Each structure stands twice: as C-alpha cells, then as structure tokens.
Amino acid sequence: MLEITGLRKVYEGRGRVVEALRGIDLTVERGELVCVVGPSGCGKTTLLKCVAGLLAPTAGQVRLAGRVVDGPPPGMAVVFQEYGRSLFPWLTVSQNVELPLREKRVPGPRRTALVQQALAAVGLADAGSAHPWQLSGGMQQRVAIARAVAYEPQVLLMDEPFAAVDAQTRADLEDLLLGLWHRLGITTMLVTHDIDEAVYLARRVVVLSAAPTVVQEDLHVDLPHDRDQIITRSDPRFAELRAHVYGHIRAAKTDPGRPPAGTMKA
Ligand SMILES: Nc1ncnc2c1ncn2[C@@H]1O[C@H](COP(=O)(O)OP(=O)(O)OP(=O)(O)O)[C@@H](O)[C@H]1O
C-alpha cells in the first residue's frame, strides 16, 4: 500500500542546512498498523509529512497504491497531535467531520450517514451539534479521529495523536484506535515518542536512527493479536520488546550505526 524508497529530506534556509532524513526505505502492507519511533528530532514528523504529501522530498519517493505522492493524495487522512488547532471552532462537531466529505464530493445523504457512523464509532453520537471548544481535549481528539475515519481513507497517518491528553484518556484512545483498526482494517502509520505505546499498538515497530536518519530496526511485534491494557502490558514478552526498542533508541543516540548490546533476539 505504501512504498517509501530512498527518502531524503534536507531543510535549507537562512544559512542553515538540516538533513532531517538521510535515506528511508520502508514498505507498509495493506491493512498493517505500523508505529514509528526514534530519538527526539530524528525526523519522525518530517517522514510523516513527506508520506502525506505535505512536504516534497529532496530525493527518493513515496508511493501510495503504486502512485507517486506529489501532493496530499485523496486516499489519505492525517491526525495530528494538536487537536485544538486541527478543528474549526466556528463549525459544529458534525460540520467538522463532514467538511472533508464535502471536498471529496460525497453526496448529502451518504455524508450524513458517514458522519453519524464515525461519531458513533468514537462514542460521540450525541455530540454532533456541540462546538469543539465545548468538549474536553480527549473528546476533541475523538472528533479528529472520527473525521479521519468518516473520510474512509486507504491510509491513516497519525503524528503523536495521543500525546496531549491525560494517561487514562490516552489508554482509552489507544483502544479506540485498535477497535477501529480491527473493524475497518485501515492501513495505519503512527508516529510516537512513547515506546510502550508503540509496542502496545503496533504489529510492527520501525525504529529510526538519530541523524543522519535511516531505518535502524524493523521489528515484528509477536504479541497476541488482541491487546488489553493490563494483560498485554504485563506480558513478559511486552517487557522484552520494549527493552529491545529502548536499547536501539539509546544506541542510536549515543553511537548511530552501532547495534545495541544485551537486548533480546527479535
Ligand atoms: N521547517 C523546518 N525547517 C528547518 N528545519 C526543520 C524544519 N522542520 C524540522 N526541522 C529539523 O529537522 C529535524 C527533524 O525534525 P522533526 O520534527 O521531523 O523530528 P521529530 O523526530 O518529529 O522530532 P520530535 O521527536 O522532537 O517530535 C530537526 O533537526 C528539526 O530541527
């Protein structure tokens, strides 16, 4: 579904040149849920923006279902961390969810059905007539997720989507995402700085190196398919996987290119 080949991104401006990505090669299969982690500033957001067609790569390319991405493609939805800035305060919750469907020229009755289904799926069936500023942070992020889901994307990209909410809401939103993913099978790529969250959610965790950034590790998460906040997180294998990813990130920070010592067999 997604093929990223030789992706390089260099920011240039005002005498400062930053090579955010050196060369990323990564394939995401249809229906996969992949989490991307890496040291702070390694280029996770840059990678996601290139995949979303919001930034042009300096070299290399991204393909969505075989087509080169050279601008925001119709089959993609993005959820950012800053829910407060991603919703229009003057529109109701329903209108916010409906907006991309209007742009996609979905007929009226179908739009109404999609909005209702998506709001029900995120537990906000009764909040359609409210304005975003009348909702809690966690509820606003649910609206952003509903908007993405209603759009029926081929690929869902998420950049630290749960970073700005409290721990309990975060766990609820993680499980909400897993439930939607199980039901709808949307190909999902999620960037997070939270290693535990990555291992909990993903079927694959991709670890980026520190700059100059490449894929340092591509780890299959062999935990049981159905995840549970208590059972999964207390599984000894969860601890092993988390330690393995943590080891890679620590090694990347101290000595890029050197594999970590003393971690498990993956
Ligand atoms: N618009 C920009 N102009 C210049 N440099 C930029 C720009 N955006 C990002 N960078 C630089 O590119 C590098 C990667 O930034 P990016 O935000 O992609 O990393 P990240 O892994 O998402 O960071 P974090 O973990 O802190 O969220 C950093 O050195 C950053 O300073």
pLDDT digits (tens, 9 = 90+) for 64-83: 999 999 988 888 999 888 77
d(CA 59, CA 196): 32
Which DSSP string corresponds to 118-172?
A: HHHHTT-TT-TTS-GGGS-HHHHHHHHHHHHHHT--SEEEEESTTTTS-HHHHHH
CA of 213 to the centre of ligand 1 (A): 11
- What sections of 2-69 are H helices per DSSP? 44-51
Instruction: Evaluate whether ipTM surpasses 0.85.
Output: yes
Domain boundaries, the chain: 29-57+68-75+155-266, 83-152
The Cα angle at residue 75 between residues 125 and 115, in degrees rounded to 5: 15
CA of 265 to the centre of ligand 1 (A): 32
Look-up of token digits 């549970």:
228
Which is nearest to 47 in space by CA: 6, 77, 88?
6
CA of 171 to the centre of ligand 1 (A): 27
For residues 209, 212, 214 and 216, what is the CA-based torsion angle, rounded to 10 degrees? -30
Q: Decide if domain 29-57+68-75+155-266 falls under CATH 3.40.1030.10.
A: no
pLDDT digits (tens, 9 = 90+) for 81-93: 877 678 999 999 9
Tell me the sheet residues that pair with 154. none
Single pTM value for the model: 0.89
Q: Is 51 in the pocket of ligand 1 (CB under 6 A)?
A: no
Look-up of token digits 């620590």:
250
CA of 52 to the centre of ligand 1 (A): 16
Instruction: Say if residue 265's pLDDT is above 70.
Output: no
SS3 35: strand
pLDDT digits (tens, 9 = 90+) for 118-165: 898 888 999 999 999 999 888 898 899 899 888 888 899 999 988 878
Q: In what order do the strands lie in the sheet with 187-191?
A: 76-79, 155-159, 187-191, 33-37, 204-208, 215-220
Tell me which of 40, 44, 209, 215 to substitute to probe ligand 1's pocket, judged by most ligand atoms within 8 Å of the beta carbon: 44
